[in-house]
Structure 1
Amino acid sequence: MFASVYVAGSRRGRSLSGDQFSKDLLSLARYFSPRLEMVDARTVVLDVTGLRGMWGSPRAFGAAVQRKAIEQGIHCRVALAATRIAAVLSVYGRTDALTVIKPGREATTIATLPLDILTRVANFGLQRNAAIPLEVRNRNVSRMINIFKRWGLATLGDLAALPRDALFSRFGTEGVMWQKCACGEESQLLIPTPENRPFEVALDFEWPVEGFETLASGLRPMLESLVLQLSHEGVAAAVLTVRLWLVTRVWYTRTLQLPAPICDSRMLCTLLVLNLKSHPPPAGIDRVVVTAIPAPSRITQFSLFEKAVPSIEQLSTLLARLKILMGSERCGTPVLSETHHPNAFDVGPFDPTVSSAIHLEAAEETGPIAISRRFHLPLVAQVTVDCGCPVLVSASGGIGRRSVERCAGPWRSSGHWWEQTQSVDQELSTGYWSRDEWDVELDDGSVYCIYRDRTHGEWFVAGFLD
Structure 2
Amino acid sequence: MVDARTVVLDVTGLRGMWGSPRAFGAAVQRKAIEQGIHCRVALAATRIAAVLSAYGRTDVLTVIKPGREATAIATLPLDILARVANFGLQGNAATPVEVRNRNVSRMINIFKRWGLATLGDLAALPRDALFSRFGTEGVMWQKCACGEESQPLVPTPENRLFEVALDLEWPVEGFEPLASGLRPMLESLVLQLSREGAAAAVLTVRLWLVTRVWYTRTLQLPAPICDSRMLCTLLVLDLKSHPPPAGIDRVVVTVIPAPTRITQFALFEKAIPSIEQLSTLLARLKILMGPERCGTPVLSETHHPNAFDVGPFDPTMSSAIHLEVAEQTGPIAISRRFHLPLVAQVTVDCGCPVLVSASGGIGRRSVERCAGPWRSSGHWWEQTQSVDQELSTGYWSRDEWDVELDDGSVYCIYRDRTHGEWLITGFLD
TM-score by length of 2: 0.79
**Is the 8 Å Cα contact of residues 340 and 390 (structure 2) preserved in structure 1?**
no
Structural mapping, 1:17-56, within 5 Å: 39=2, 43=6, 45-47=8-10
1:301 aligns to what SS in structure 2? Answer: coil
Quote how far apart the aligned CAs of 1:241 are: 1.1
CA distance in 1, matches of 2:405, 2:208: 65
**Is the 8 Å Cα contact of residues 193 and 296 (structure 1) preserved in structure 2?**
no
1:430 aligns to what SS in structure 2? Answer: coil
Shift of the 137–220 alpha-carbon distance from structure 1 to 2, 3 Å rule, reads same
Greater shift in the superposed pair: 145-154 or 355-364: 145-154
Greater shift in the superposed pair: 314-323 or 149-158: 149-158
Greater shift in the superposed pair: 334-343 or 277-286: 277-286
Match of 2:99 among 122, 136, 143: 136
Quote how far apart the aligned CAs of 1:462 are: 0.8
2:38 aligns to what SS in structure 1? Answer: strand
Quote how far apart the aligned CAs of 1:245 are: 1.9
Shift of the 341–45 alpha-carbon distance from structure 1 to 2, 3 Å rule, reads farther
Structure 2 residue runs of 5 or longer lacking an equivalent are none
Shift of the 336–446 alpha-carbon distance from structure 1 to 2, 3 Å rule, reads same
Greater shift in the superposed pair: 53-62 or 292-301: 53-62
Shift of the 131–288 alpha-carbon distance from structure 1 to 2, 3 Å rule, reads closer
Deviations 1:227-271 (CA, angstroms, capped at 9, x unpaired): 333344443322111112223333222111111222333332222
**Is the 8 Å Cα contact of residues 385 and 394 (structure 2) preserved in structure 1?**
no
**Is the 8 Å Cα contact of residues 343 and 422 (structure 2) preserved in structure 1?**
yes
Deviations 1:190-230 (CA, angstroms, capped at 9, x unpaired): 33334334322111122233333332222222122223333
Quote how far apart the aligned CAs of 1:463 are: 0.7
Shift of the 341–70 alpha-carbon distance from structure 1 to 2, 3 Å rule, reads farther
Identity of aligned residues (%): 94
CA distance in 1, matches of 2:17, 2:164: 35
Shift of the 421–41 alpha-carbon distance from structure 1 to 2, 3 Å rule, reads farther
Deviations 1:414-449 (CA, angstroms, capped at 9, x unpaired): 112122214436995553211111112223222111
Structure 1 residue runs of 5 or longer lacking an equivalent are 1-37
Greater shift in the superposed pair: 188-197 or 218-227: 188-197
Match of 2:122 among 159, 162, 176: 159
CA distance in 2, matches of 1:337, 1:73: 61
The question of 1:250 aligning with 2:213 is answered yes
Quote how far apart the aligned CAs of 1:464 are: 0.8
**Is the 8 Å Cα contact of residues 385 and 395 (structure 2) preserved in structure 1?**
no
Shift of the 303–43 alpha-carbon distance from structure 1 to 2, 3 Å rule, reads farther
1:362 aligns to what SS in structure 2? Answer: helix
Greater shift in the superposed pair: 149-158 or 393-402: 149-158
**Is the 8 Å Cα contact of residues 306 and 390 (structure 2) preserved in structure 1?**
no
2:331 aligns to what SS in structure 1? Answer: coil
2:88 aligns to what SS in structure 1? Answer: coil
Shift of the 290–311 alpha-carbon distance from structure 1 to 2, 3 Å rule, reads same
- 1:205 equivalent in structure 2: 168
Shift of the 291–429 alpha-carbon distance from structure 1 to 2, 3 Å rule, reads farther
TM-score by length of 1: 0.74
Shift of the 140–244 alpha-carbon distance from structure 1 to 2, 3 Å rule, reads closer
Shift of the 60–244 alpha-carbon distance from structure 1 to 2, 3 Å rule, reads farther
Structural mapping, 1:6-405, within 5 Å: 39=2, 43=6, 45-47=8-10, 79-96=42-59, 106-107=69-70, 109-128=72-91, 155-156=118-119, 180-301=143-264, 309-405=272-368
Greater shift in the superposed pair: 64-73 or 410-419: 64-73
1:298 aligns to what SS in structure 2? Answer: coil
CA distance in 2, matches of 1:110, 1:137: 24
Greater shift in the superposed pair: 203-212 or 134-143: 134-143
Shift of the 372–168 alpha-carbon distance from structure 1 to 2, 3 Å rule, reads closer
Quote how far apart the aligned CAs of 1:75 are: 8.4
Quote how far apart the aligned CAs of 1:302 are: 5.1
**Is the 8 Å Cα contact of residues 194 and 295 (structure 1) preserved in structure 2?**
no
1:224 aligns to what SS in structure 2? Answer: helix
Shift of the 243–136 alpha-carbon distance from structure 1 to 2, 3 Å rule, reads closer
Quote how far apart the aligned CAs of 1:183 are: 4.6
Q: CA RMSD in A?
A: 4.6
Shift of the 156–304 alpha-carbon distance from structure 1 to 2, 3 Å rule, reads farther
Deviations 1:148-181 (CA, angstroms, capped at 9, x unpaired): 8899976445666889999999998767655554
**Is the 8 Å Cα contact of residues 172 and 178 (structure 2) preserved in structure 1?**
yes
**Is the 8 Å Cα contact of residues 304 and 393 (structure 2) preserved in structure 1?**
no
Quote how far apart the aligned CAs of 1:275 are: 1.8
Shift of the 422–271 alpha-carbon distance from structure 1 to 2, 3 Å rule, reads closer
Greater shift in the superposed pair: 144-153 or 323-332: 144-153
- 1:22 equivalent in structure 2: none
Quote how far apart the aligned CAs of 1:113 are: 2.0
Shift of the 172–369 alpha-carbon distance from structure 1 to 2, 3 Å rule, reads closer
